[in-house]
Structure 1
Amino acid sequence: MSQNLDVRVAQGIARGVRERGIEAWRNLPYAEAPIGPLRFKAPRPPVPWAGVRDASEFGPVPWQSLQGHFVGASKKQTMSEDCLTLNVLRPAGSVGGGLPVMLFIHGGAYAVGSSAEYPRNGEALVRDGGIVYVSINYRLSALGYLDFTRFSTPERAFDSNLGLRDQVAALEWVRANIAAFGGDPNNVTVFGESAGGNAVTTLMATPAAHGLFAKAIAQSAPTNAIYPPEQTHRWADEFVAFLADRIEPGGVETTSVDDAGDLLARADASDLVEAAVSLTLLAPDRDPGTIALCPVIDGDFLPERPLKAFKHGRAARIPLIIGTNDREGSLFTGRLDILATTPPRIRAIFSRTKKKARKAIKAEYPGLPDKRPAADFAGDYAFWYPTVKVAERHSRYAPVHFYRFDIAPRLVRQLGFDATHGLELFALFDRMNGWFGRAMGALGGRRAFMRTGDRMRRHWIDFARSGQVAGWPEYDEETRATMIFDKTDRVENDPRSARRVAWQEFVPHV
């Protein structure tokens, strides 16, 4: 192992590895392990280590369920509450510094996933773009995205927005240490997909994160999945009931704040994440259109709804790429059905608006509530329309580039998914050479899909370098220029304008 892979960071010396033209450092702690009395507490600075730390392998992944709505971790991966680590990749043989930095936040409904879920993520960006790539773990499920502050007492405090605070702590670590890896701490682009996209837009509205990154990319973000305390406190009560019944059916009293706090403190992490599955199964029908594991508007760390911050220019005024895939909702069927896809859920959402607006929106989804139009309605409600609102509001204060990802391999189209939620990750991260990518391309369309990924990746790299993208006009409320990623990329002004206008009347509060 080459000595030049020893890098000194604030906590000590880390020894990386060289592989496939990439130099990698993995499992670097950016915060103290949130275990014991630090469970449900805001992250603290990492503890220094003695000697040289082996940074060649990924660390444990955050605790998550292996049988819930989503399945992220492999049974072979070690799960631990001691998971607040990140990974750094750079081009092999890098000399000097000043490289642009791209920090990726993984998705997974804030319930599953990790920085090791796809171990080779980022390598194509590093090789093609000469950038420094950072990927992070953060607390998930009940350990990171349920609000237990109502159970706080003078003796035991529960902090809010733990996963969001973890992401800020990771960005702070990058600001302090990334120059040691050749990265420019003043040129950090944060990007993420799905829940990771929600994290990006939420970080832009989080005062503690301002100044820690210079540009942002939000892919398929459910940007409005942020809830007030009156909602999150009710979910906390329901969660504790599920947890109590799981630990000792019929035998655990949780009627007081102290009882609930004791239960949360002593519960096994596995019981916490499995109880969260019960809650997330309940939420789509109890509260249609919501996702139970999400940030909370706590009035402090996250002072307001991000959409409100974007409206009034209080979000970080930095360049933004934002967009969605053509048919986001088609993925959410069967075990993954957490969106407003069923007739009762759709009726509940329709009850919140006026009859004229309901009629206009139904005209945009002929056949509703049949399966295909229901999936498109639900996907647009959760992902596309809130994304439009972020783009138009942020464009008043900073440059915005808006996109829609339309291409899909032939087999994916024949199965009825089309360009569904998460598909662009296979293009962007050059995943089509893996077994799943090759299976998707078995009936054709693989090469065209990969070429689109090459072009998309080049745009992301150019944006990370300079904040600009060639041939892609900025978005504004007059022209609404949108890059359509397809076999042949094109720019369209205000695609699906009639649908956008119908949504404006349907959910004017967004």
Structure 2
Amino acid sequence: MKCPFLVAAAISLLAGTASAQVVQAPAGAVEGKAARGIAVFKGIPYARPPVGDLRWKPPAALPAWQGVRKAQGFGAACIQPRPRAGSIYANPPAKIDEDCLTLNIWAPERAKDAPVFVWIHGGALTTGYSHEAMYDGAKLAARGMIVVSINYRLGVLGYLAHPGLSAESAAGVSGNYGLLDQIAALQWVKANIGAFGGDAGNVTIAGESAGALSVMYLMAAPRARGLFHKAIAQSAYMISTPSLKDALHGEAAAEETGQKVAAALGAPDIAALRAMDPVALTENAAKAGYMPWGTIDGKVLPRQLVEIFDRGEQAPVPLIAGFNIGEIRSLRFLAPPAPASAGAYEAAIRARYGDLSDAWLRLYPSRDPGEAVLAAPRDALYGWTAERLAIGQTAIGQPAYLYLFDHGYPAADENGLHGFHAAEIPFVFGTAADAPPFWPKIPDTVGEKRFSAAMGDYWASFARDGNPVAKGQAAWRPYGKDAAFMAFADVPRAGVRLMPGMYALHEAAVCRRRAAGNLPWNWNTGTVSPVLPASADCP
């Protein structure tokens, strides 16, 4: 008689052994691997490689392939510069290439009409990739949904605008190529996800940081309408965006910026730019000061994001939006220099904010100016955006769920990184053990696992039916008339009126900058803010 222990071990081993999984999709047959009830398909192309003459062109459709395509290895990341030394986010991809327009799928075996969760990675539209280990979709997929992660063009290859490129376009526009990639990926999902057991009529887009900026761009983009049905924006920032041909709101015209970059690189025309090595081009453009943003071109992005949401022209979908208490603690380059003294700090604020100074100093008092210069840009960038998104969706009759991530653990707190930027991601995905190598290590405790399970449950149930619920946890109510929110602290805790006065102050400041017409609204806040004009049309 066989030993029961050995039999059980053999059964366990077999249960964890991956087996081939073939799906016949409209794009072509793909072969992934299935293990523990989840089938994984890696590196599926969703558009033609944007190389050669297709560099700086909208993504082109990929003809259906013949035979069975192996989908068992991740594709290359899009071209990107090396990460900053000392960054907790540093985790460069093993391979980069212009041929990078691929996506990955995690699907429960025998899924049928399952909700679809599309993850858009962050990285300032400059770095990042879809298959970073922290984004592994297996645990979210185990909650009954299909998880898709996508690559999109980055940096100068993804967002360059230039008169020569606009002249090539039938619409007369340029830039936004990375955003158009995201739209193409969603179109691929719509056409193909049913073959993997997904419901193309129940797609949630989600992203963090630049991924959340991308979520807002998609909510604003007419071409993306109908390709998704819910949205999650984690640490989004609704900052001023360059216009294609005009210098507006203190931002240079995007085409002018493109011309300056080309000149700095010694390229007389687009042909010369296309002849350049993509890695050298990306790194040298960054050294020349190029920063990628979307472009307000009247076509792909019709207006500034603030205007889209003011006019109620954004996608009418349920939304989760939130930010982290320690956003700037890991992004200190976004913080103004600490003032020499409390008096100097107060004087700088009063000189810049005028009649708004008292409200500012109540929220960010001079008794701790070092802390104030961390809290103020956090709120001006991320807090104001999150609440503005909740207010905007509520105004058009859609449920919106606001959150504050205020969760700490020893390795983060001991290094002054309580609730840092992106800290929520491994808790949502259930990938604490797979965070980047320099990430503050999340302890493997029952409490942290329970907290992560709650966040995963809220996100998954929202993707399923637009109602974030976690069994045995606090009820998360829509923002609504009483400004409800959820604080993810030691445990999820429901509340109302997050940081009273915060949203009103920063909305008033942005309103005055918009009214002036020549002032951007971004991280130039607090002691480095321009002098705000008084405006009869603003609070």
TM range (shorter): 0.7 to 0.9
> Which residue in 1 is equivalent to 2:22?
6
- The alignment of Structure 1 onto Structure 2 pairs a total of residues equal to 476
Deviation, structure 1 residue 436: 5.7
2:495 is matched by which residue type in structure 1? Answer: E
Deviation, structure 1 residue 57: 0.5
Deviations 1:379-399, CA, capped at 9 Å, x for gaps = 222211122212112211111
Aligned equivalents of 2:408 and 2:137: distance in 1?
21
Q: Does 1:77 align with 2:98?
A: no
Aligned equivalents of 1:446 and 1:223: distance in 2?
36
Deviation, structure 1 residue 21: 3.6
Question: Does the 8 Å contact 2:101/2:153 carry over to 1?
Answer: yes
Deviates more, 1:146-155 or 1:379-388: 146-155
Alignment of 1:409-488 (within 5 A): 409-434=409-434, 440-441=440-441, 447-470=446-469, 471-476=475-480, 478-488=481-491
Compute the RMSD of aligned alpha carbons.
Answer: 2.9
Among 260, 263, 266, the residue aligned to 2:269: 260
Deviates more, 1:355-364 or 1:305-314: 355-364
Question: Does the 8 Å contact 2:134/2:426 carry over to 1?
Answer: no
Q: Secondary structure at the match of 1:505?
A: helix
Aligned equivalents of 2:148 and 2:174: distance in 1?
26
Among 54, 58, 65, the residue aligned to 2:81: 65
> Which residue in 2 is equivalent to 1:318?
317
Deviates more, 1:491-500 or 1:295-304: 491-500
Question: Does the 8 Å contact 1:66/1:72 carry over to 2?
Answer: no
Q: Secondary structure at the match of 2:147?
A: strand
Aligned equivalents of 2:19 and 2:83: distance in 1?
43
Question: Does the 8 Å contact 1:73/1:113 carry over to 2?
Answer: no
Among 9, 13, 17, the residue aligned to 2:33: 17
2:275 is matched by which residue type in structure 1? Answer: R
Aligned equivalents of 2:88 and 2:489: distance in 1?
29
Question: Does the 8 Å contact 1:365/1:376 carry over to 2?
Answer: yes
Larger radius of gyration: 2
Deviation, structure 1 residue 49: 2.3
Deviates more, 1:388-397 or 1:194-203: 388-397
> Which residue in 2 is equivalent to 1:107?
122
> Which residue in 2 is equivalent to 1:305?
304
Q: Does 1:272 align with 2:272?
A: no
Alignment of 1:177-192 (within 5 A): 177-192=192-207
Aligned equivalents of 1:352 and 1:387: distance in 2?
28
> Which residue in 2 is equivalent to 1:86?
103
Q: Does 1:386 align with 2:389?
A: no
Deviation, structure 1 residue 305: 1.6
> Which residue in 2 is equivalent to 1:247?
none
Gaps of 5+ in 2: 1-16, 340-344, 470-474, 515-520, 522-539
1:273 is matched by which residue type in structure 2? Answer: T
**Cα 1:155–1:299, aligned 2, differ >3 Å: closer, same or farther?**
closer
**Cα 1:352–1:297, aligned 2, differ >3 Å: closer, same or farther?**
farther
Aligned equivalents of 1:403 and 1:155: distance in 2?
41
Q: Percent identity?
A: 32
Alignment of 1:16-415 (within 5 A): 16-68=32-84, 77-91=94-108, 93-95=109-111, 97-118=112-133, 121-127=136-142, 129-149=143-163, 152-153=166-167, 159-224=174-239, 226-229=241-244, 230=247, 231=252, 232-244=254-266, 259-279=268-288, 282=289, 292-333=291-332, 337=333, 339-342=334-337, 354-367=353-366, 370-397=369-396, 398-415=398-415
Deviation, structure 1 residue 47: 2.9
Deviation, structure 1 residue 373: 2.1
Question: Does the 8 Å contact 1:197/1:223 carry over to 2?
Answer: no
Aligned equivalents of 1:502 and 1:140: distance in 2?
33
Q: Secondary structure at the match of 1:395?
A: helix
Aligned equivalents of 1:502 and 1:261: distance in 2?
44
Question: Does the 8 Å contact 2:209/2:235 carry over to 1?
Answer: yes
1:423 is matched by which residue type in structure 2? Answer: A
Deviation, structure 1 residue 89: 0.8
Aligned equivalents of 2:183 and 2:320: distance in 1?
20
Aligned equivalents of 2:391 and 2:73: distance in 1?
42
Aligned equivalents of 1:105 and 1:57: distance in 2?
19
Aligned equivalents of 1:467 and 1:278: distance in 2?
43
Q: Secondary structure at the match of 1:103?
A: strand
Deviates more, 1:292-301 or 1:12-21: 12-21
* TM-score scaled by length of structure 2: 0.81
Aligned equivalents of 1:296 and 1:107: distance in 2?
18
Aligned equivalents of 1:467 and 1:411: distance in 2?
34
Question: Does the 8 Å contact 1:72/1:114 carry over to 2?
Answer: no
